[in-house]
Amino acid sequence: MDLNSINQALQGVIDPDTGTDLVSGKYIKQIKADGGKVLLNIEFGYPARSQFEAMRERVVQAVRAVPGVSEVSVQIEQRIVAHAVQRGVKLLPNVKNIIAVASGKGGVGKSTTAVNLALALAAEGARVGILDADIYGPSLPTMLGVHGKPQSQDGKTLEPLEGHGLQASSIGFLIEPDNPMVWRGPMVTQALEQLLNQTNWRDLDYLVVDMPPGTGDIQLTLAQKVPVTGAVIVTTPQDIALLDARKGLKMFEKVGVPILGIVENMSMHICSNCGHQEPIFGAGGGERMCAEYGVDLLGSLPLDIHIREQADAGQPTVVADPNGPIAAVYRQVARRVAVKIAEKAKDMTGKFPNIVVQNT
Q: For residue 123, give every residue at least 6 positions away whose Cβ sits within 8 Å of its Cβ, in sequence order, or none.
A: 49, 50, 318, 322, 331, 334
Give residue 174's Cα distance to chain centre: 26
Is 285 marked within a binding site?
no
109 labeled binding residue: yes
Alpha-carbon distances, residue 67 vs 2, 11, 299 (angstroms): 9, 16, 41
Distance (Å, whole) CA 125 – CA 164: 13
Give dist(CA 223, CA 192) in Å, integer: 12
Among 157, 166, 161, residue whose Cα is nearest residue 205: 166
Does residue 110 have a known ligand-binding role? yes
106 is in an annotated binding site: yes
Return the DSSP state at 79.
Answer: -
Is 105 annotated as contributing to ligand binding?
yes
Q: Per the annotation, does 37 bind a ligand? A: no
CA 14 – CA 20 distance, rounded (Å): 5
> Running DSSP on this structure, what letter comes out for residue 237?
S
Contacts of 71 (CB under 8 A, 6+ apart): 36, 37, 38
Q: Tell whether residue 111 is among the known ligand binding residues.
A: yes
Compute the distance between CA of residue 260 and CA of residue 231 in angstroms, rounded to an integer: 6
Comparing C-alpha atoms, which of 218, 228, 152, 164 is closest to residue 191? 218
How many CB atoms neighbour CB 63 within 10 A? 23
DSSP3 helix / strand / coil % (the chain, rounded to 5): 35, 20, 45
**What phi and psi values does residue 6 have, to the nearest 5 degrees?**
-65, -45
d(CA 168, CA 176): 17
Is 104 a known ligand-binding residue? Answer: yes
Contact in structure between 253 and 259 (CB atoms under 8 Å): yes
Q: Note the residue count of the chain.
A: 360
The DSSP bridge partners found for residue 346 are 83
Annotated binding site: 104-111
Annotated binding site for ATP: 104-111
